[in-house]
Chains A and B, each alone.
Chain A
Amino acid sequence: MAAAVPAVCWVRAATALLLGCCGAALASSVQDQAEQFFRSGHTNNWAVLVCTSRFWFNYRHVANTLSVYRSVKRLGIPDSHIVLMLADDMACNPRNPKPATVFSHKNMELNVYGDDVEVDYRSYEVTVENFLRVLTGRIPPSTPRSKRLLSDDRSNILIYMTGHGGNGFLKFQDSEEITNVELADAFEQMWQKRRYNELLFIIDTCQGASMYERFYSPNIMALASSQVGEDSLSHQPDLGIGVHLMDRYTFYVLEFLEEIHPASQTNMNDLFQVCPKSLCVSTPGHRTDLFERDPQNVLITDFFGSVRKVEITTETISLDRDLAGFESKLLKDELATEPLKYAEQLPVAQIIHQKPKQKDWHPPGGFILGLWALIIMVFFKTYGIKHMKHIF
């Protein structure tokens, strides 16, 4: 009896310990899940992809932008959340031997233009002013929705820019430049208006690292294809098309992204290693000091993919089949009293005899009014007011 009691006690203690362990494990797994939920704080994803170069020999910049567009669409960001700005049209350019295509690999292996592309800003619309307006949200009220960046404080935004650049500036279409100071100020405006949660800025130009030197707003991570003083080089020409198809950095980024799928757990540290000096010839750089989280914890799909919050429910909802109530609200069309007719396409007699419509009379304004006021004032100053009675 005395031996059984300690055994029971021991078993009870063991079960209590086991339960305690399980509870602790459960609690820690719940806590893990809760942590994971709070790890990335964004609810929607946006992408702004800009190609700033014009003319046929800058084919590779358009191909760069389109390959990032393709990856971003493939990983889930819809067209309504992508603002694509292409400064020139390469696909339907008369010099393109294969119209409606833009290739990224030589021998025409991969057509990054595709059949389902929506370009929001084309050709002459890609200017520094429009780009800054898109970022800061200060656009004229008549701008359509597809041309707006409607992000909020829980949006993760990917900004990709490519073109020709220098130390501290990026050239837009051979006629204007955007400086790193302007860009940093635009991001600060976005931060103050709470237009982003986290921002990933990628730039593929010569001396690209100079563009992110001046950032001072929080939660920005930046990558560039080359350091200050280095040139970014292009990858390979295609002898059939006759121009270089892609830039090296974006080419290897595209190859890296082709292996990412919407559920992959690859993090930013892998993206930093993408193009070593042996492949890229220039030294890619990155900047993470403004970013709150550790790049180890930042998933590629946080910026390149799209968050979809799905709530599964098991209850069925029945739709009302009886549309009688709805039908009675429809107004019947009223019929005209006499038949309507089509207009004559070329009524010669009517055209010959039509008189030009007199414009409405407006009172004279501006210069003419001022001139008459001056003449009247001079007249009355010369002759005096008392002579007015002779006039009236």
Chain B
Amino acid sequence: NGMLAAAAALLLLAAAGPGLGPGPGRADAERAQQDSLREELLLSPLPAGDVAATFQFRTLWDADLQRGAVSHYRLFPKALGRLVAALGVRELHLALTQGFWRTQAWGQPPLQAPAGAELWVWFQPTVTDVDKAWKELSNILSGIFCASLNFIDSTNTVTPMASFKPLGLANGTDHQLLRYAVLPREVVCTENLTPWKKLLPCGSKAGLAVLLKAERLFHSSYHSQAVHIRPICRDASCLAVSWELRQTLTVVFDTFAGGQEKKDWSLFKMFSRTLTDACPLASQSKVYVDISPKNKEKELLEVTPTPASVHEAVVQGERRTYAVYDLLSPLLFNTSRSLNVQLKWKRPQDSSELPIPVLHAQRYVSGYGLQTGQISTLIYNTHPYRAFPVILLETVPWYLRLYVHTLTIITKGKENKPSYIHYQPAQDRRRPHLLEMLIQLPANSITKITIQFERALLKWTEYTPDPNHGFYVGSSVLSALVPSVIAMKDVDVEQSPLFTSLFPSSDGSSYFVRLYTEPLLVNLPTPDFSMPYNVICLTCTVVAVCYGSFYNLLTRTFHVEEPSRGGLAKRLANIIRRFRGVPPL
């Protein structure tokens, strides 16, 4: 098979040889088309007056990273390319998030990530030891992104059996090649943003990335930055593979945190910068603003400067209208040298206009003490007449011992039996609990899933330096194909905006959504860490006083001592004392 491939390659080369020989320009042009960059910013106003900004930078490379020694990296960052080639990675998704996306208040997120750090990876079938490759991968990524991903080990890694199907091209889905881990305690700050920005071809010097200033990005309700690497079809015939690297950053700016009373937004207010040019290496650089009218009325939002074009798309089951600013068109910077998109609300919103998302969930923990504890998850299906299934994936650390016999799923007062359950119990200090269920959600219902647990006592060296903060339980993952009212056409990936093409859609009647619930904070019984010192002091004192004196009493013999007359000095002293009237020595 390898010989045939080599022979085919040689034949192709021989055929293309005379074409490649002369003309370094043509070779350059041919090579120049091998990778391309598209950048895009989507501004969507949220119901409560906040605004969400989603940046997407996509580098597409028409080369096969798995085969051959690729040594010339142009736009695709070498650090990630070498990683994919050396460790046999088929898909990599890493997200670092601060805050929580409030689905009920803000609507369905375009792309959500759980609080903390989340890493899930599909490996190639050629990888023999997946766990070893996983460990190496998390260590290398912790160095690249300045995050504590080296804490990912077998105690927080699971192998989901039904969720997290590959988002890229897949030959078969053997779930033993998948690993998923989440670190809910991970903090995201400028030191994670700095290497993320350095992976962009233009850095933070030109294009949309000039807006990424840490002081504004972290002063927000929700900040999520992610890296997605996957193989996709090179063209419509899908006979060759291209590697796609998407870097996404979603940030939600809050009116109250920003300290302003009026709800008008502009790029300058959000990022304290404006756009001056597009990245010279980008083939496409656009800003989209969501100006969809709510409830079929007149437009609510006024956008200045006037957009050059308007794009209509069906996104997540709704027809939406976007104002488009193309940074590469020369007309845009004709009037002013910088682009400052301003959003003004024409009239105030009232609460009846707030759209309710079709699927949303929440989770909370209850119970106190060592023995009683309960995790409850509520899943809401607000679709008026359609029912659909949802996969719930829960990863619970080993020190919360789940009682699976207490698992109850109740919908509309009746018990709801899941069509598929995969449960893997925890092993102390080795493996967490994994619970995966496929649940049918009836139309217009609330499903409550409860499971009880008890807390385990940890060894005193296993506590973190701040144990009174509590211990985190990672977010649960809900994957669902939500039916949409409007049929979605299969669109060409190259023509449509990036935010519509992350999840491959199979048919037009539903769209795939992945939601995360809140992480939980659980208090474990915390010992008093000064007790070992206290115990040692007390024990030594007791031993010294009681046993010591007992030992002395038992082992020493008593003799009567003759009072000696004393030496010369003593006799002289006694004489002096007799003169003084003081009793003698």
Contacts and interface: CB of A to CB of B under 8 A. Distances in A.
Interface of A: 54-55, 89, 91-92, 98-101, 113-120, 122-125, 142-147, 173-175, 321-324, 327-328, 331-336, 338-348, 351-352, 354, 356-357
A118 B233 contact: no
A346 B191 contact: no
B191 to A, nearest CB: 4
A115 B239 CA distance: 43
Best-surrounded residue of B67, B168, B187 (most CB of chain A within 10 A): B187
A334 B166 CA distance: 23
Interface string B212-243: 01110111000000000000010001111100
A342 B240 contact: no
Contact of B389 (A144, A173, A332, A348): A348
Given A92-B190, A175-B529, A351-B391, 14 more contacts: A55-B466, A99-B215, A114-B190, A119-B146, A122-B191, A322-B24, A324-B24, A328-B17, A332-B12, A336-B240, A341-B169, A341-B170, A343-B165, A356-B422
B465 A173 contact: yes
B422 to A, nearest CB: 7
B297 to A, nearest CB: 34
B9 interface: yes
Nearest to A339: B238
Given A54-B466, A345-B506, A333 B189 contact: no
Contacts of A339: 233, 237-239
Contacts of A120: 146
Contacts of A173: 465
Contacts of A145: 143
A332 to B, nearest CB: 5
A346 B176 CA distance: 18
Nearest to A345: B512
Best-surrounded residue of B13, B422, B465 (most CB of chain A within 10 A): B465
Interface in B120-146: 135-136, 139-140, 142-144, 146
A116 B194 CA distance: 6
A65 B418 CA distance: 54
B112 interface: no
Given A98-B219, A335-B239, A345-B506, A340 B190 contact: no
Nearest to B175: A357
Contact of A345 (B28, B240, B479): B479
Contacts of B233: 339-340
B464 interface: yes
Contacts of A143: 139, 143, 150
Interface of B: 5, 8-9, 12-13, 16-17, 20-22, 24, 27-28, 62-64, 67-68, 98, 135-136, 139-140, 142-144, 146-148, 150-151, 161-162, 165-171, 173, 176, 187-191, 194-195, 213-215, 217-219, 233, 237-241, 389, 391, 419-420, 422, 438, 464-466, 479-481, 503-504, 506, 512, 529
Contact of B214 (A89, A115, A322, A344): A115
Contacts of B147: 122
A345 B62 CA distance: 25
A199 to B, nearest CB: 25
Contact of B67 (A54, A331, A345): A331
Contacts of A144: 139-140, 142-144
A100 B142 contact: no
Contacts of A124: 148, 151, 464-465
Contacts of B191: 117-119, 122
Given A99-B219, A117-B194, A333-B64, A346 B479 contact: yes
Contacts of A114: 190
Contacts of B479: 345-346
A174 B465 contact: yes
Nearest to B436: A351
16 contacts: A54-B465, A92-B189, A99-B215, A114-B190, A115-B194, A118-B146, A122-B147, A125-B150, A331-B9, A332-B12, A339-B233, A340-B233, A343-B173, A345-B503, A346-B389, A346-B512
A324 B68 CA distance: 19
Contact of A342 (B150, B481, B504): B504
Given A332-B13, A346-B512, A351-B162, A327 B27 contact: yes
Q: Which 4 A-B pairs have the closest CB atoms?
A: A144-B143, A92-B189, A343-B170, A339-B238
B419 A91 contact: no
Best-surrounded residue of B12, B215, B238, B389 (most CB of chain A within 10 A): B215
A341 B191 CA distance: 38
B148 A354 contact: no
A329 to B, nearest CB: 9
B143 to A, nearest CB: 2
Best-surrounded residue of A92, A98, A116, A328 (most CB of chain B within 10 A): A92
B146 A324 contact: no
Nearest to A174: B465
Contacts of A333: 62-64, 67, 240-241
A348 B438 contact: yes
